[in-house]
Structure formats: C-alpha cells, structure tokens
Amino acid sequence: MATLHDGLQTILTVGDTNLVCELEVTPPAIDGGDPIDLSCMRSGAWAPMYARRRKRAGPMTILVSWNPEVYFHNFAVGVLENRIRINVNQLMILYFPNGATLTFWGFITKFEPQAMKEGERPTANLTIQLSFLDSSCNSVWPVYTPGTTTC
C-alpha cells in the first residue's frame, strides 16, 4: 500500500456545494471505544479486557477561508437551496489526492470563525459529524473507493 506524499487537493463536497477553499482537512477518526473490563475478584494479576463490537466515527474538521455570505446562507432559512447549512444531514464526498473518495452522510455541527486580523485571510473551522443515516433515516455506511493514482 502506497502512502500519500502530499495532502494537497484533499477537498470535500457537501450536497451539491463545494466548500469555498479548504486549507486543512482532518478526516474522521475511527474509534473503537474503551475496552470492556472483564475483571473480577478472581482475575489474578492482570485485568482481562474485551474489544467492543461497535465503532464510532469521530468528528471531521476542516479549516476554510470564508466570506460573510456564509451567515446569510445559514440564517436565511429556506431562501437558498443547495447551500451548506448547520445540522442538515447531507451526502458528502471527501476526495483524496490519489483519487480515492470517502462518501458518507453527515451534518455540519459547527461553523467557528477565527479572529479577523490585518494582513491575513479570514479563516473558520467547520466540524462535521458522520450520521450513518440517509435522508430517509435508513442506515448507510460510508463507502471508500480506492484511488487509481500514486502521489
């Protein structure tokens, strides 16, 4: 398995919308959770543990450059369709530099602007949570499609 040499061109689409300009993308973590403690008074010197069956997806974070119109798109509910909105479950596709994709359903939980500074472009953090549910509330697992190029 080849490794990526550069993270450039890691981008996300949300519904039918491309994010304005991704600067940093942190894909979701896969968390197996804490182990199940199986110890009892008779366990001896070592506490036996067992792995959980379910996994959880951690939040995905993206640092973006932004524009004040994002407030209009989020606060003017129902005015514009196909825009990025907070707490709206949507189909998302994460594109990796090697052509691989991760397609999943999720929702933006937070849009957090950073300090506006002279001589620096405005940035904001987006936090996204995978929902594992489509728009009809059917369980849908993320789909990973391998890339075809090497980086």
Q: How confident is the model at residue 142 (pLDDT cuts 50, 70, 90)?
A: very high
Assess contact for 60 and 128: CB atoms under 8 A: yes
Give the integer Cα–Cα distance in Å for 123 and 113. Answer: 6
Place of tokens 């999943």: 104
- pLDDT of 14: 83
Assess contact for 151 and 98: CB atoms under 8 A: yes
Q: How many CA atoms lie within 13 A of 78 on its CB side?
A: 0
Place of tokens 């008074």: 41
User: What mean pLDDT is reported for the chain?
Assistant: 87
- How many domains, in total, are found in the chain? 1
Give the integer Cα–Cα distance in Å for 88 and 116. Answer: 27
* pLDDT tens-digit map of 38-47: 999 998 999 9
Report, as an integer, the average pLDDT of 90-119.
94
Residue 131 lies in a domain: yes
- pLDDT of 51: 96
Residue 43 lies in a domain: no
Residue 47 lies in a domain: no
Residue 71 has pLDDT above 60, yes or no: yes
Residue 74 lies in a domain: yes
Q: How confident is the model at residue 74 (pLDDT cuts 50, 70, 90)?
A: low
What sign does the dihedral 29-110-102-105 (CA atoms) show? positive
* pLDDT tens-digit map of 14-39: 876 776 689 999 999 999 999 999 99
Strands 101-113 and 123-130: antiparallel
Residue 23 lies in a domain: yes
Assess contact for 4 and 98: CB atoms under 8 A: yes
Assess contact for 121 and 66: CB atoms under 8 A: no
Residue 151 lies in a domain: no
Give me the domain span that covers residue 112. 11-29+53-145
Residue 21 lies in a domain: yes
What sign does the dihedral 58-59-62-63 (CA atoms) show? negative
Residue 68 lies in a domain: yes
* pLDDT tens-digit map of 91-104: 999 999 999 999 99
